[in-house]
Amino acid sequence: KAGVTQTPRYLIKTRGQQVTLSCSPISGHRSVSWYQQTPGQGLQFLFEYFSETQRNKGNFPGRFSGRQFSNSRSEMNVSTLELGDSALYLCASSISWPGNTEAFFGQGTRLTVV
Amino acid sequence: QQQVKQSPQSLIVQKGGISIINCAYENTAFDYFPWYQQFPGKGPALLIAIRPDVSEKKEGRFTISFNKSAKQFSLHIMDSQPGDSATYFCAASKGAAGNKLTFGGGTRVLVKP
């Protein structure tokens, strides 16, 4: 059974640009969550999608957005990139929502903003 | 606001020893407490999880102890091996909020051969 797939693995962008990251959840999983991981702030929740609807949102500015497609794949977008957006962006998939179900993470997309 | 506090930040243990990592939470609505293991360049991998109706859960060399009244839980790694050298994160969530995880700050474990 394939795990969570995130693409691309690495990205280098310039300040002011925008970026789109992709996540394919485990087959049969319908909930996708996104996290930002930095050395200073640790792992922080961005948002969660289930059935193409955002169910939960973390404390991030509106430059961070996401969406989910009917096949449960998800994308997140960051507009007007800032240097501080450099981080490892992680996607996690879970079987359902709500309720505490196991969350499985992908390998992440390493975003560097220069 | 850090709702899950994890300690220590790092620890060094000899091969065969016991690694102990502690977490404390503030939100009494949390009802699911997983632990994740992360190697450099990889995403976190689910290790073991516990719910508050259980005081202890063991899977192989990994044991979670849970103290609901103290709002604390801990991970014990028995017979630590060099391959266990990684960063460990505790987390917590509440069912009504879906699968949103609130993470502790992480503990970097180094197991010396």
Per-residue tokens: B69: 């009244």
Taking the C-alpha atoms of residue A32 and residue B30, their distance in angstroms, rounded to an integer, is 20
Measure CB to CB from residue B43 to each of A33, A94, A105 and give the nearest one.
A105
pLDDT of A112 above 80: yes
The burial class, CB within 10 Å (0-12 / 13-18 / 19+), for A22 is: middle
Q: What is the mean pLDDT of residues A28-42?
A: 95
- Do residue B99 and residue A94 have CB atoms under 8 angstroms apart? yes
Q: Flag whether residue B1 sits within 8 Å of chain A, measured between CB atoms.
A: no
Cα B35 off chain centre by: 4
| Farthest-apart Cα atoms in chain A, separation | 39
pLDDT band at A85 (very low <50, low <70, confident <90, very high): very high
Looking at residue A13, its pLDDT comes to: 98
Residue-wise pLDDT for B39-68, tens only, equals 999 999 999 999 999 999 999 999 999 999
pLDDT of B83 above 80: yes
| Whole-number average pLDDT of chain B | 95
Distance from CA of B16 to the nearest CA of A (A): 29
Interface A:B, Cβ pairs < 8 A: 75
Chain B residues 38-67 with CB within 8 Å of chain A = 41-46, 49, 51
Q: Identify the closest residue of chain A to B5 by CA–CA distance.
A: A42
Q: How many helices (H) and strands (E) does chain B have?
A: 0, 11
Looking at residue A1, its pLDDT comes to: 64
